[in-house]
Amino acid sequence: MADSVSETHARSTYVGWRYETLVSDPGPPPRRPAPSEQAQTSKEWIASQRQADALTHRPLFIALGALTGIVLLCLLLWPLRILPGIVVLGVCLACLAVAAPALVALGQGRRVTRERLAQEQQRLETERREQEEELRQRQEEHARSYTEWQHRKRVYDAQPRWYGVKVPDSARLVVVAGGTDTGWSALATTIGASRLRNGGDLTVVDLSGRAVAGDLTSLVKRCAVVPRLWVLPADLPRMNLGTNLEAGQRAHILTSVARAFGAEADSEADKALLLHIFEVVGPEANIATVIGGLRALAAPESDTDTEDDPALKLLSTSQRKEIRERCGEERATLERAWELERRLSPFEGVGTRAADEPYAQVKVIATDRASGDVAARAYGTYTIAALSQLLELRASQAERDSGHNSASGEHAPTAEPWAHTIIVCGADALPADEVEQLVSTAERAGAGLVLMFREAGAEIEHLLSHDDGFPVVMRQPDADSAARALARLTEERQSGTDDPLRIPIHRLTEVIGEALSDTVADSYVEDTAEGVTVPVAMRYAATSVAPLDLVRHLRSATVWGRTTSQAAEIGDTEDPGRLRDIRLDAHCLRNLPSTAILLPGDDGPLIADANPGVLTLPTATLSTVEEAPTTLVDAADQVGERVDAGAGPPPNLGPPSERLDWRSA
């Protein structure tokens, strides 16, 4: 059965958030159609028709008036005996004969005028019915358009804007080229939060000299999980990393530490010398005892005064003698013993006060800036070498359990990718061979590895192009590293394209990156005012953390969550106008916001934000841009229920039409 989307998200490792608007803005709503003015028969038109009719029939009225006058004259002259009766009768009959056609013509003209008025009224009524039908159709079309616009508007407003950026399923290595302490802090917190969500094991090796994982530890504590924190060299006595391994593995770790001080060390000879000492003092002996064996080998055999040397006091006389017999007393051996003793002396207290502690889900191993770069390189090498041996031990055990043969090149199957995640901040402080060894053993063990380098140097180009790697580019410190990073980002672009590459960046990335550009603490000493004060049951590991609880803890426990939430309250962080295009060149890479990360994409480089506080925004989602179109775009294309034209008058939807301006009428 296929995994559900929520289960896939729970197992995913996120490195940042990408701003995308998949459903475009539908624009303003369609305006409601306004009914046109209905034509009516005006009184002026009727009067003009009647006036025209009167002008047409004026000769008839004059003729009828004249005939009427003749008849009246004849009738007045007849009683006076001026005209005889027969003449009056004849004149009257003649006038009547003449007036009859005129009366008929006058009646026909009146009838034609009435018919013309009736036809005009009928035409206007037909025109009104057509206008009403057209208005009804326009209203129905408007109702459909407004329903579609309303649906698209709801989808547009409800869609996520910030999508998660996951490490590909096939990747086991994330190589971060460039970045500042602030950017590393954001990226480490984002990765750690995704691992906390599913209860994964997380180990952070902080070689930056500052508290890059400080916000991460605050988040872990707020999630009621106790992180194990070792700050070297102060916590060397409490650190039991690598102290319970076999003699060969411990000799390899100490040899790696000695080689970290200089390339002139002979690893094979140093390892053989340490193995001889472990054979005498036992594989469980602490490093102080091993240093005592080196000192006993380098000291003269006649020197029996060990009261002033606490290291020699850890060995008996017989053990010192046996060490000399096994290792020999050649001058080269004695000099090598002195050199090994000098290089391993800073680790004399490793594990001397270590107690049996329970399993811790989150472990942070950091170096103090006050110890210096050389000491940080040595402590980091010890930590990385010990982790490599533990991963090698885990991979060998898994191969034995599954029946795989490491010689055949097959790796043991892992239950869940990135179940154990290792983050190394400042990997450029480590020897290159130790980094390669860690990459190899992590791949064999199925662990996820995140390596953060200060710059995109030539020595990490092979890591950026690793088959199982996922390259991430952040702010570069100088022009040379910026040029190399730019070439890596644009290497798949066609060479004939001369147009500068431009990518959009959100204003929130710039604002938060600038506001928190120098907020990383110098130490892991926690401010008690920001600690957990509520009575919660603290534990060393948690099966999982619910997404809503994780968002709540991010908002309250990390400076990223608090600042991003405040920025969201002050202004609309989802305003499309807050996007602006930047030209991707070497100058841009040197001035990127501290949390901006550049990732390879199918269509060119993509920009994302490693700020973990983005998850606290209401428009953030754990889905990726590739997963979203199957739901968002389809939802935008699915229009709501159509308006039924036969169910009654169409709804009066949408804003009213624009009012006519009498000044332009």
- Cα–Cα distance measured from residue 261 to residue 208, given in angstroms and rounded to the nearest whole number: 18
pLDDT of residue 643: 40
Q: Are 177 and 110 in the same domain?
A: no
What is the C-alpha to C-alpha distance for residues 388 and 406, in angstroms, rounded to an integer?
Answer: 16
Q: Sheet of 173-177: strands edge to edge?
A: 228-232, 362-367, 201-206, 420-425, 448-453, 173-177, 469-473, 596-599, 606-609, 14-19, 162-166, 620-621
454 and 593 fall within a common domain? yes
CB 192 within 8 A of CB 425: no
Domain that holds residue 322: 247-347
Which of 126, 158, 190 finishes a domain?
A: 158
Q: Are residues 113 and 203 in the same domain?
A: no
Assigned domain for 239 exists? no
Degrees, nearest 5: CA angle 618-622-624: 115
Does 184 lie in the same domain as 139? no
154 & 173 share domain: no
204 and 232 in contact (C-beta within 8 Å)?
A: no
pLDDT in tens, 425-475: 999 999 999 999 999 999 989 899 999 999 998 889 889 888 888 999 999
**What is the pLDDT averaged over residues 277-300?**
84
> What DSSP element (H or E) covers 187?
helix 181-197
Residue 452 sits in the same domain as residue 506: yes
pLDDT at 206: 95
Mean of the pLDDT values across residues 188-193?
94
Supply angle C-alpha 466, 257, 214, rounded to 5: 70
Same domain, 592 and 480: yes
Q: Do 377 and 277 belong together in one domain?
A: no
pLDDT value of residue 442: 92
Percent of the chain past pLDDT 70, that is, above it, reads: 83
Question: What is 227-274 written as a DSSP string?
Answer: -EEEEETTTTTT--TTTTS-HHHHHHHHHHHHHHT-TT--HHHHHHHH
550: its two tokens: 């994780």
- Tell me if 71 sits within 8 A of 95, measured CB to CB: yes
521 CA to centre of own chain: 26
Highest mean pLDDT among 134-138, 354-358, 569-573: 134-138
Does residue 656 lie in a domain region? Answer: no
Residues whose CB is less than 8 angstroms from the CB of residue 549 and which lie 6 or more positions away in sequence, other chains included: 223
Helix 287-298 / helix 267-281 crossing angle, nearest 10 deg: 110
Neighbours of 414 (CB within 10 A): 17
Whether residue 649 lies inside any domain: the answer is: no
Residue type, 445: A
Q: What is the pLDDT of residue 8?
A: 56
What confidence score (pLDDT) does residue 47 get? 76
- Is residue 413 predicted with pLDDT exceeding 50? no
Distance set, CA 100 to CA 66, 95, 97, 107 (Å)? 14, 8, 5, 11
Under the banding of pLDDT at 50, 70 and 90, the label for residue 308 is low
For residues 595-618, give the mean pLDDT. 90
DSSP code per residue over 149-183: HHHHHHHHHHS-SEEEEEPPTT--EEEEES--HHH
Predicted pLDDT at 492:
61
Q: Please say whether the beta carbons of 539 and 589 come within 8 A.
A: no
* Structure-block tokens of residue 351: 């594990």
Spatial CA neighbour of 147 closest among 34, 26, 24:
26
Shared domain for 274 and 375, answered yes or no, is no
3-state SS class at 19: strand
Residue 36 lies in a domain: no
Q: What is the mean pLDDT of the chain?
A: 81
- Does one domain contain both 184 and 258? no
Q: How many domains does the chain have?
A: 3
pLDDT band at 158 (very low <50, low <70, confident <90, very high): confident
Q: CB under 8 Å to 120, separation ≥6 — which residues? A: 41, 45
Mapping DSSP to helix (H, G, I), strand (E, B) and coil, where does residue 471 land? strand
Tokens 């390669």 sit on residue: 436
pLDDT in tens, 227-238: 999 999 999 999
Residues 380 and 334 in one domain: no
**Around 35, how many Cα atoms within 13 Å sit in the side-chain half-sphere?**
11
Q: How far is residue 213 from each of residues 159, 188, 207, 236, measured CA to CA in Å?
A: 32, 7, 11, 19
Q: What are the residues whose beta carbons fall under 8 Å from the beta carbon of 589, sequence distance 6 or more?
A: 178, 473, 475, 476, 482, 485, 486, 598
Residue 657 lies in a domain: no
Last residue of a domain, one of 158, 175, 206: 158
Q: Does any domain span residue 261?
A: yes
Looking at residue 645, its pLDDT comes to 41
User: What is the reported pLDDT for 664?
Assistant: 43
In a domain, 22, yes or no: no
CATH number at residue 536: 3.40.50
Label residue 184 exposed, middle or buried (CB < 10 Å: 0-12, 13-18, 19+).
Answer: buried
User: pLDDT tens digits for 321-352?
Assistant: 888 888 877 888 888 888 888 888 889 888 88
User: Are 378 and 517 found together in one domain?
Assistant: yes
Over 50: is that where the pLDDT of 640 sits?
no
Annotate 568-614 with three-state secondary structure.
HHHCCCCCHHHEEEEECCHHHHHCCCCCEEEECCCCCCEEEECCHHH
